[in-house]
Amino acid sequence: MSLLCVICMIMEQIKLYPLKFEPIYQYRIWGGRRLANLLTKPLPDNDPIGEAWILSDRDDYPSKVTDGPLKGKTISELLVDSPEQLFGKLVDKFKRFPLLLKFLDCQKVLSVQVHPSDQLKEYIPAGESGKTEAWVVLQTGNDGKIYAGLRPGTTKEKLRNSLEKHKVVDDLASFTPNVGDGVLIKAGTVHTLGDVLVFEVQENSDVTYRLYDWDRVDEKTEKPRDLQVEQAIACIDFAQTAIGPANPIIENDGPELREKIFDNEHFILWRLTGTVPFMVGKEAAPRILVCIEGTGELESNNDLFSLVKGDVMLLPAICGACPFVPKGNVILLEIAVPETAFTNDQSK
């Protein structure tokens, strides 16, 4: 018997457990250093770090397990080795994990950008999907601003004219965010944000078209970043205007406060706030927990798994529903992949 066969047999015998992953830091010209106060992994060098990818099934940046007998395994490998344990009743729907989770430190404003919808296949590279995303605001600065959608009445011709005059900001709807705000950015929505720290959940896609980048120069390359104006304009949904914070729906007010912030064909997200034990997860379906305040422990199969601020934990479907025990006040985000989730060509 080959060594590979032996390893495969061992993997099949390992029952999946609540999995934590190491954050993957990304240099961004608009980033800062505030993620050092959220995550325990030290930031690299002195570069501006704009993103921490905290759950990523991407070929170039695969998330790796940090604890337990599966330490060092990537989420991609787990999907190959134990798909039924991980996905449960969703096992036949996806070839890779359908969501990408991040923390963003937007010290400076991002480029004005847009993502294609799943239906605009001519603007989506092979193996990718469209990109609907959403943010939960964790921290704001004095200049905190979210631009989401166009101002009513903005046409393609007006937008092109604004680009020529370098006055795109005049066509963008905006608001000053507060901590706790949830903002849904549907594919096709023109958007950007600055001087905020946010959690982001999105379709597992890296397709972004830059419309405008504030005429700035990347200090590392000493050149402006590339724009994709024609592709961006082609992907804009001009009906997406003046997007504001979501209105959470309170589903439960005891023992924990459970607020549903987002519910669409790509992801469902709840915010859970409590000081006494409450349940998380679901039978036969994967769930993701992100701790954004406080600490606590999750109990699964008679073992305890700690969660501290900044941790992400994937609950494989085999774990089912589990009790979570806060240590003081805790705030968790719980994310589900809908059973009716839209599927696209997500092959490797």
The pair phi, psi for residue 146, each rounded to 5°, is -120, 125
Residue 315 three-state SS? strand
Which among 210, 258, 271, 287 is annotated as catalytic? 210
Cβ atoms 265, 341 nearer than 8 A = yes
Assign 182 to helix, strand or coil.
strand
CA angle 122, 118, 107 (to 5 degrees): 100
Exposure pattern of 261-285 as b/e (b: 16+ CB <10 Å)? bbeeebbbbbbbbbeeebebbbeeb
HEC letters along 269-292: EEEEEECCCEEECECCECEEEEEE
Residue 306's alpha-carbon distances to 23, 148, 241, 348, in angstroms, are 16, 36, 42, 32
210 is catalytic: yes
Positive or negative, the CA dihedral 135, 179, 153, 162 is negative
In the chain, DSSP finds a helix count (H) and a strand count (E) of 5, 20
- Both tokens assigned to 217: 């120069």
Token look-up 């809908």 returns 338
CA distance 191 to 97: 25
Distant-in-sequence, close-in-space partners of 215: CB < 8 Å, separation ≥ 6:
166, 224
- Which pair of tokens denotes residue 234? 């082609």
Task: Report d(CA 260, CA 247) in Å as an integer.
Answer: 9
Catalytic center residues = 210
